[in-house]
Amino acid sequence: MKRILAFCLLWLIVAIPAATLVVWLSTPSVALPLTAQPVMTPKVDNITGAAQVIDWEHSKLHQGDSYVATYSVTTANLDNQRTVIAFTTPVVNLGRVHVTFNYSSSDPADAILYEVPTITDATQGTEAVPLNAFRESTNTSGMQSLEAAPAANGSYSTYNEAEVAAANIAATGTVIWQFQLGTGSGPFAQGGTSRGDAEVILASGTLYWIMLRNQGASANSHALNLRWYESIDGDFAN
């Protein structure tokens, strides 16, 4: 009799939790409403039905990570007059610079991008602040001028001919590209406009010097414009 009671007690101990587990597993789950998730309707072309998308570079503009730097000078009526924008790129974890260039002159000139030129006194330039291309964004560039104490919220240096001479470039460094802006035709008989169509990804923490230089004596209207966006390596969400 005692053995029968002991067996019944053991059966209750084992069977009841097991039955409870079966009931719990067999109970259908209840889906919670996704009230925090907005319903996103993809935009499509109204003729072809193709999805409307923007490229990654455009998305960097929307995120406030796209910047502009510009500088213009009318040179003295002399050969080899130079106009320069220079800067040091941010270190890699603060923003990798993807840049394109636009430059023009009213008379013949060449445009050159130098990497790591040797400059005796880089502080001879004038510090300027890049503009965010998304005008409502408060983001600032990681780029720095060549001043001894660069502005904290992004900066670059500009140089006219007198400032270039005072800076005393001892060596030109590595030439990344060089373009000629030569004689045109029609109502604008001299000069030209060109654009570095291929994006250049600059090395991190590195000095760069973009120069326009007269080819012949003329009071030449130089204009340099840089457009870039900054990305963080491995930041795949942005």
pLDDT-derived band of residue 233, with 50, 70 and 90 as boundaries? confident
What single string gives the DSSP state of each residue in the chain? -HHHHHHHHHHHHHHHHHHHHHHHHHSPP-PPP-TTSPPP---B-TTT-PBP---HHHHHHHTT-EEEEEEEEEPPSBTT-EEEEEEEPPPGGG-EEEEEEEEEESS-EEEEEEES-EES-GGGSEEE-PEESSTT-------B-SSSS--TT--EEEE-HHHHHHH-EEE--EEEEEEEE----TTS-S-EEEEEEEEEEPPTT-EEEEEEEESSSB--EEEEEEEEEEE-TT-TT-
Q: How many CB atoms within 10 Å of residue 204?
A: 17
Q: Tell whether the model's pLDDT for residue 197 goes beyond 70.
A: no
CA 127/CA 61 separation, integer angstroms: 24
pLDDT one-digit tens code per residue, 198-231: 789 999 999 999 999 999 999 999 999 999 998 8
Name the residue with higher pLDDT: 192 or 93: 93
**Dihedral of the alpha carbons of 212, 218, 219, 225, in degrees to the nearest 10:** -20
pLDDT-derived band of residue 117, with 50, 70 and 90 as boundaries? very high
pLDDT one-digit tens code per residue, 77-105: 999 999 999 999 998 777 889 999 888 99
Percent of the chain with pLDDT over 90: 48
Q: Tell whether the model's pLDDT for residue 187 goes beyond 70.
A: no
The answer to whether residues 177 and 110 touch, using CB atoms and an 8 Å cutoff, is no
User: Model's pTM, two decimal places?
Assistant: 0.74
pLDDT one-digit tens code per residue, 122-137: 899 999 999 999 999 9
Q: Which residues contact 224 (CB under 8 A, 6 or more apart)?
A: 70, 71, 72, 83, 84, 85, 101, 102, 103, 210, 212
The answer to whether residues 237 and 136 touch, using CB atoms and an 8 Å cutoff, is no
pLDDT-derived band of residue 4, with 50, 70 and 90 as boundaries? low
The predicted pLDDT at position 90 comes to 92
CA pseudo-torsion sign 229, 159, 115, 81 = positive
Residue 15 φ then ψ, to 5°: -75, -40
pLDDT (average), residues 30-59? 70
